[in-house]
Amino acid sequence: MYTGKSYKLSEFIVWTRKSLYLLFIMSIIPTVLYEFFELKWLGISWTVLALLGTATAFIVGFKNTQTYNRTLDAQQTWTSILNTSRSWGIMSRDFLNDSEKTRLLVYRHIAWLTALRYEMRSFRVWETTRRRHNTEYQQYYVIPENDISIEEELSKFLTEDELKYILKTKNKATQIMALQSKTLKELYDNQQIVVLQFVDFQRTIKDFYTQQGRSEQLKDSPYPRQYAIINSMLVHLFCFLLPFGLLKEFDKLNESIDGIMHGNMVWFVIPFSVIISWMYTSLGQVGESTENPFEGNANDVPISKICKTIEIDLREILGEINLPEVPQPRHNIIL
């Protein structure tokens, strides 16, 4: 998540520079052919191009709206996890008279958060974190899940036997929560909690499973590929044809221009074509980096920070003093 007031233009240009290089070349070639080699037939009707540009703008706007909604859904899901986790900590402390069992339930919950965030950071083939413009930008921020193994993190909150069992499972978060339910059943059978407390605990576990499912759905259900490919095709087609559509329009300006620029107006096709095309490709790139809210890009939902915040809150509820530091942004970016 970006925590600054705004990205700098220089940062944005560096991030999109690959597209700028390509757009510059694509605008130079038809302009040179039109002006130097007198291939006047290369100029196409601006009306046709305007229709294509309008359709492209609609579909780019549609994609960006949908990808923003995905990120918003992810933020709301993890905000619910944050709020419910605090409730879990309070119930674990106040419903039980056994401090060891309270600590077990709280620490195991932190392990659940850890397993879930590591799963959310795992790679999917449709994600964009391994594309060059994103890997280069990762030098400006830290992805905690890439620096520390999940085994090392879980070992802080699970017993040795639980850790060995959980590391062998496919869905670690699900099985950790299943251990929570098993422990609650034992507490109820031993009459350490009454039926209403047991029901409240189980209802909270159900809420956690619901929130986990929503998070997994966002992770494993990409933005529909049919919309993604048509968006990409239309943007590329528009950017390719744009300089051809501008050739005659700028050539006509020579009739009303005197002086040094007379006869040279067609060269303005290059900068204006690059600027307009860059607007479309940049919007597409922004939408692409927003559609997967957990993958590890700079604009992701900060699930690592949320988990660390929950850990600090829950351990404070236990009365612990030696707490981890609150994560701080690096270059205004925090995950």
Q: What is the pLDDT of residues 165-194, one digit of tens each?
A: 999 999 999 999 999 999 999 999 999 999
Q: How many domains does the chain have?
A: 1
Q: How confident is the model at residue 138 (pLDDT cuts 50, 70, 90)?
A: confident
Most confident of 14-28, 30-44, 133-147, 245-259: 14-28
| Token code pair at residue 25 | 């070349």
Asked if the model's pLDDT at residue 6 lies above 90, the reply is no
Angle at the Cα of 19 (from 240 to 266), degrees rounded to 5?
Answer: 50
Which of the residue ranges 95-104, 129-138, 151-160, 239-248 would you say has the lowest mean pLDDT? 129-138
Contacts of 238 (CB under 8 A, 6+ apart): 49, 52, 53, 56, 277, 280
220-243 average pLDDT score: 88
pLDDT tens digit sequence for 260-316:
767 678 888 999 999 999 999 988 888 888 888 998 888 889 999 999 999 999 999
Which domain does 185 fall in, by range? 9-317
pLDDT score of 5 more than 90: no
> Is residue 240 over pLDDT 90?
yes
Residue 198 has pLDDT above 90, yes or no: yes
DSSP letter for each residue of 218-264: HHHSPSPHHHHHHHHHHHHHHHHHHHHHHHHHHHHGGGG--GGGTTT
The answer to the question of residue 165 being in a domain is: yes
Outline where the chain has alpha helix (H): 9-15, 17-35, 46-94, 99-121, 132-137, 144-147, 150-154, 160-168, 172-189, 195-220, 225-252, 269-290, 303-317
Q: What are the structure tokens assigned to 143, written together?
A: 């992805």
Residue 334 lies in a domain: no
Q: For residue 27, is it within any domain? A: yes
Q: 124: closest CA among 329, 332, 314, 296?
A: 296
User: Considering the entire predicted model, what is its pTM?
Assistant: 0.90
Q: Is residue 331 part of a domain?
A: no
Residue 328 lies inside a defined structural domain of this protein: no
Residue 183 within any structural domain of the chain: yes
Dist. CA 105–CA 197, nearest whole Å:
14
Q: Is residue 83 part of a domain?
A: yes
Assigned domain for 4 exists: no
Mean pLDDT of 54-83: 91
